Amino acid sequence: MQILEFEKEIESLHVDVKTTAKLLNVSERTLRTLTKRGELPVVKILGRVLYSREELVEFVRQRSQRTSLLFG
């Protein structure tokens, strides 16, 4: 696999900070806080901070479950 193909594959599985913040409807500052707390793992590839789409789905799922437990 060539490097360009590898980069495209990685980008299809991951999103950048700005996109992640928009998807989660939070500020980039809040996203950094969540990351520092370890609530959202990040991957650094070629100097870029990226979030796994799979991890984001799991994060939202867990948050939804907590909310439904609290508010039934």
Q: What is the pTM of this model?
A: 0.74
> What architecture does CATH give domain 12-71?
Orthogonal Bundle (1.10)
Rg of the chain over Cα atoms, rounded to whole angstroms, equals 14
Does residue 72 surpass a pLDDT of 90?
A: no
Does residue 64 surpass a pLDDT of 90?
A: no
Residue among 63, 62, 46, 51 nearest 22 (CA): 51
C-alpha–C-alpha distance, residues 50 and 9, integer Å: 13
Q: What is the pLDDT of residues 35-45, one digit of tens each?
A: 999 999 999 88
Domain boundaries of the chain, sorted by first residue: 12-71
Residue 3: both structure tokens together = 């490097």
